[in-house]
Amino acid sequence: MLILLLGYWGYGKITSASGETRYVMGTATRGTIISSVAGSGQVSAINQIDIKPNVSGTITYVGVQPGDKVASGKLLFSIDDTTAQKAVRDAKINLQSANYSLQKLQIQNSNENINTDSTKTYADALNTISETFLDIPPTITGIENLLNNSDLSDNAARKAGATAVNYLNKANTAYYTAKAAYEKNKINFGPVNSNSKSADIEALAGETYNTTNLLADATKSLNDYVNYLAEQNNNPSGFSSYQSTLSQYTNTINADSSSLLTAQTSINSYKDSLPNNEIDMQGALISVAQKQNALTDAEQNLSDYYIRAPFDGVIASVPVQKGDDASSGTTLGTIITAKQMAVISLNEVDIAKIQLGQKVTLTFDAIPNLTIAGKVTQVDAIGTVSQGVVNYDVKITFDTNDERIKPGMTVNATIITNVQQDVLTVPNSAIKNQGGNTYVEIFNTPLPIPLSGIQGSPSATLPTLQAVVVGTSDDTSTEIISGLSEGDKIVIKTIVGAKTVATSTPSLLNAVSGNRAGAAAGGTGRTFKPAD
């Protein structure tokens, strides 16, 4: 029993920490510090469009359901086209009749030569058409780029309200109408040259003039949308470049339209000077052109009864079914792009650290264990104030897609704002601050190795306060710019008895007073060493 008591007493002496201060030491090492900003938000599709018909009637075909993936041009819906089919049939008969009349006149005038005035008139018209075809493609491409610009996107329109959405829908409709007219016009333009018949050149001039007018309408509609956004935006100057670009497109297209109108006027003046038989020929040619245009219009109208996917995407909703009545205001379905993005909100302090292209790690509350990478693609220039706090939206595109991710899901984003490699670091717990000074605690001589099972080493002397200059930090480590060297031992935790002392440290004045009291009692006083 005595031996057991002595053993217990001896173990207690070894393990007891009563009244004894111990120091857990760490080492200044080189490593990497990754700084980041975290935020949360929702998953959103990059583009979303409500599909609406241009015509009215009974729905005769519904070819998709929510969740279906569709390719651009896929037939989604059709509407009863009985009336439109009849219009196409009648237009074909009228065109055939006009061609018969033209052929009869051509036989009568087959031996007549085209005079010099005719050659120059139609050559000038062809040159005007050719110059117009140099201006149309970059204008169409420019308008398409503006419609795809993030500042003018569907999201921007929805944020600005219903009026902005109406403006954007009108601009999209006008653009696709003009583009379709141009594609057909381009096909007809290809085979026409200086040796072509005057009737072909005249018809092409009229068709090109119509294309420029449609393109002018598209430019005006988009300009109306941009002007409205500028009026509603707190920074209207941010839209000035778009307004300037559209003004250039308008001037170019108006000039081409004016030149084409002049060419048509010249042709008409020339025809007025022809003998009656030539006038009859021109009348027949015009009649054929008119009937051809009527057929084209009828076929275009017929195509409107078949609604196709405007781009590759996923069908989000289909609120109609076969047999329902539809009009131009009816939403047949909603299509979204398969590619998704995250929209998160950050405060004014964190947003200052965010730049385009920064890498992001994304997780999802609804999908445990799923982590994907992304990057910052857009940062709002204007914040939203809510209850006195300014927040900014940040848009993040996903590097990969996962079918489990759905629009509206909560997403958590960690944006890497800075990476410092091969820098001197210490644990965050080693860093202390007092009176504007940043420092760590060190011992001028090594402490004994801790006893087995005991945390930290005791010291009869107090540690020295070593001033340091710190840099970036992350969740665990802080960069040391000066004041320490690699391998230096620093205090990362102080233990008094069995309790860990909080990281707060007495002021330098109190430290000096303590040093003097310790010296008077036979101890060693603390010193404060400046950073190197």
Smallest CA-to-CA distance from 194 within 124, 259, 288 is with 124
Burial 107-120 (b: 16+ CB within 10 A, else e): eeeeeeeeeeebee
Contact 40, 344 (CB under 8 A): yes
**How many CB atoms neighbour CB 248 within 10 A?**
12
pLDDT of residue 277: 66
Q: Is the pLDDT of residue 4 over 60?
A: no
**pTM of the predicted structure, to 2 decimals:** 0.39
Q: Which residue has the tokens 């959405």?
A: 165
Three-state SS sequence of 444-511: CCCCCCCCCCCCCEECCCCCEEEECEEEEECCCEEEEEECCCCCCEEEEEEEECCEECCCCCCCHHHH
DSSP string, 37-51: EEEEEEEEES-EEEE
Distance CA 128, CA 17 (A): 99
**How many CB atoms neighbour CB 198 within 10 A?**
19
Q: Is the pLDDT of residue 502 over 90?
A: no
Token pair for residue 107?
């036989």
Q: Is the pLDDT of residue 268 over 90?
A: no
Contact 326, 53 (CB under 8 A): yes
Q: Is the pLDDT of residue 486 over 80?
A: yes
pLDDT of residue 406: 83
Smallest CA-to-CA distance from 84 within 58, 103, 104, 102 is with 58
Tell me the three state secondary structure of residue 179.
Answer: helix
Token pair for residue 66?
């929510």
DSSP string, 221-286: HHHHHHHHHHHHSS-GGGGHHHHHHHHHHHHHHHHHHHHHHHHHHHHHHHHHTS-HHHHHHHHHHH
Distance CA 418, CA 438 (A): 22
Bigger pLDDT: 258 or 420? 258
Angle 352-356-358 from CA coordinates, rounded to 5°: 90
Q: Is the pLDDT of residue 26 over 50?
A: yes
Q: Tens of pLDDT along 157-167?
A: 888 899 989 99
Burial class (CB within 10 angstroms; exposed 0-12, middle 13-18, buried 19+) of 91: buried
Q: Which residue has the tokens 């021109």?
A: 282
Domains of the chain: 18-46+339-532 (2.40.30.170), 81-108+131-304 (no CATH)
Q: Which residue has the tokens 């018809």?
A: 203
Over the chain, what is the mean pLDDT? 83
Single-letter residue type at 91: A
Contact 528, 483 (CB under 8 A): no
Smallest CA-to-CA distance from 46 within 313, 238, 230, 308 is with 313
pLDDT of residue 275: 52
Side-chain-side CA neighbours of 402 within 13 Å: the count stands at 17
Phi, psi dihedral angles at 456 (to 5 degrees): 85, 165
Q: Tens of pLDDT along 196-243?
A: 888 899 899 999 999 999 999 999 999 999 988 888 887 777 888 888
Smallest CA-to-CA distance from 318 within 43, 44, 70, 54 is with 70
Token pair for residue 238?
């941010």
Percent of the chain with pLDDT over 70: 86
Contact 109, 282 (CB under 8 A): no
Residues 6+ apart with CB under 8 A from 431: 438, 440, 468, 470, 478
Q: Which residue has the tokens 């982590």?
A: 371
Q: Is the pLDDT of residue 3 over 80?
A: no
Q: Is the pLDDT of residue 102 over 80?
A: yes
Rounded to whole angstroms, what are the CA distances from 448 to 313, 381, 456, 496? 68, 57, 9, 17
Q: Which residue has the tokens 């601050």?
A: 433
- Segment 113-142 mean pLDDT: 84
Bigger pLDDT: 435 or 331? 331
Query: Which residues sit opposite 237 in a β-bridge?
Result: none
Residues 6+ apart with CB under 8 A from 25: 447, 456, 457, 489, 490, 491, 492
